Amino acid sequence: MMPKQNKAMETLTRINKRMAELGLCSRREADELIKAGQVRVNGKKAKLGQSVSSGDTIDIVASQAPKQYLAYYKGRGIITHSPAAGETDIATRLKADYGLEGVYPLGRLDKDSEGLMLLTDDGRLTAPLLDPENNIEKTYEVWVDKPLTGAFLQKLEHGVNIEGYTTKPATAVRKSDQRFTLTITEGKKHQIRRMCAALGYQVQSLKRIQIANIELGQLKPNQYRKLSPSEQKELFARLKLN
């Protein structure tokens, strides 16, 4: 007879790491959800920093308070998550400027880039929004260091090899001699900068102007607005959420 597995011998993982591995949310988002009392482990309220095993069931539950869904203009130089010494992240800026707490960014935008971020306290949006298999479109306005060519834009659209990975098909639209928009459905680290560099161009400025149906619009750096009911409804439909 095979000996029973000793549960104490199972490998344990911090809950925020496990939630990230399961694609539920990022580690930071997991911590925020746990603080808000919205995470259950085997039906019991999770504790910040607790350890879980692969056999434990982790659920995100809805809060009784109304959820917040915001469009935010991340300014250049602002960090999305986990700032180092001397840096400022979105959460710190929101609290300082507006006294706003409890929401977190969905996804990332690198320090030298600017533009649209979606902020929420609804953990259900993270996985479907960031999963590249869902083909959620994100549009960027890109300025490069030299005049555009038709061949360059076509290569961006058909896929670019960046260190062994070929990017998915995209849509590139010329706006001026050195400016274009690029719509992609994935989000590899520094993807657009790396795509352009692979084709001999250097990005001078990068601004995200749309995520799914949500547009940056007239927002200025470090301003935010609430999504309208119609924007929320369409966004939820695209993410296949009730």
Amino acid at 26: S
Measure the CA–CA gap between 92 and 118, rounded to whole angstroms.
16
The maximal CA–CA distance of the chain, rounded, in angstroms, is 75
Three-class DSSP category at 63: coil
The residue from 110, 112, 121, 177 that is catalytic is: 110
Give the phi and the psi of residue 128 in degrees, each rounded to 5.
Answer: -65, -30
For residues 33 and 25, the answer to whether their CB atoms sit within 8 Å is yes
Question: What kind and span of H or E run contains 118?
Answer: strand 114-120
In total, the chain counts a number of residues equal to 242
Measure the CA–CA gap between 4 and 189, rounded to whole angstroms.
44
- Residue 29 structure tokens: 């988002």
**Residue 110 bears catalytic tag:** yes
Amino acid at 133: E
Measure the CA–CA gap between 47 and 146, rounded to whole angstroms.
53
Start-to-end CA distance of the chain, whole Å, equals: 48
Q: Which residues participate in catalysis according to the annotation?
A: 110
